Amino acid sequence: MKLFDSHFHIIDYKYHIIENEGYLPPNYSFQDYKKDTKNLNLAGGTVVSGSFQGFDQQYLIHALSKLGKNFYGVTQLPIDVSNQEILSLKQKRVTAVRFNIQRGGIESLKNLRYFSERIYELAGWHTEIYLNAKTLTQIKDTLKSLPRVSIDHLGLSKEGLPTLLDLVDHGIHVKATGFGRGDLDVADAMKQIHNVNPEALMFGTDLPSTRSPRPFSKKDIQLIQETFDDQACENIFYRNALNWYQKR
């Protein structure tokens, strides 16, 4: 079965790395990523900018040039970024902007609506959010009003799952990634999300699993295969994310 890896990081110390909450990540090159995924039937994926990369775009442009045309980028940008810069990044296959609330964030949530609407209207980009879903009640009405949004790592928490399901019912997508990061029953959470919207779940390795209590392993793939039938697996592993990232 083909896989589209909707969420992984490339960490290259040739470019600027920022300490975040006392943490510096390990170096993880595109060669490391290719080695770690060589036994997967990888058909594309998405490089996601981490908190430790700030607003640096050069590492991302370099990684995308090495990974190939079926790979896309998710970046972090300041609110005052120019239209020209956004459109230039779009030409290099950057397709989304990320709000990393879980790690302190770079831009305030007060800018979420303005920035999400601006980048969508200008470039067709969607918004990705990393946060604990138990805090979603504060922004759920805003999220429902936005054009296209995805949430990382199954929303992390059992407490936040009901709110997350409500958002899924309003078209928000969810990354089936980082299974060791949250406190929820992963298989049960995925089944509930899939029951609400079978197009919502998007598989990702989360490599190299920075700061995760349990890193990605092939058991995560097996869990999905044991939980869903073949058609659902094809959607979760490949089609849902491919359609999401190519729809620009």
User: What is the predicted pLDDT for the residue at 105?
Assistant: 52
Q: Token pair for residue 239?
A: 């089609």
Q: How far is CA 229 from CA 203, 233, 236, in A?
A: 15, 6, 11
Helices (H), the chain: 30-36, 58-67, 83-91, 112-123, 140-145, 161-168, 186-196, 218-227, 230-234, 240-246
Mean pLDDT per 10-residue interval, the chain, length 248 residues: 95 91 89 94 95 92 94 94 97 93 59 91 94 86 92 92 95 94 92 97 95 89 96 97 85
Contacts of 5 (CB under 8 A, 6+ apart): 37, 40, 42, 44, 45, 46, 203, 204, 205, 207, 241
Return the pLDDT at 242.
Answer: 94
The residue behind tokens 């039937």 is 41
pLDDT of residue 248: 58
pLDDT value, residue 106? 45
Q: Which two tokens stand for residue 103?
A: 């790690």
Q: What is residue 214's predicted lDDT score, i.e. its pLDDT?
A: 87
Amino acid sitting at position 183: D
What pLDDT score was predicted for residue 108?
A: 60
Tokens of 61: 């442009």
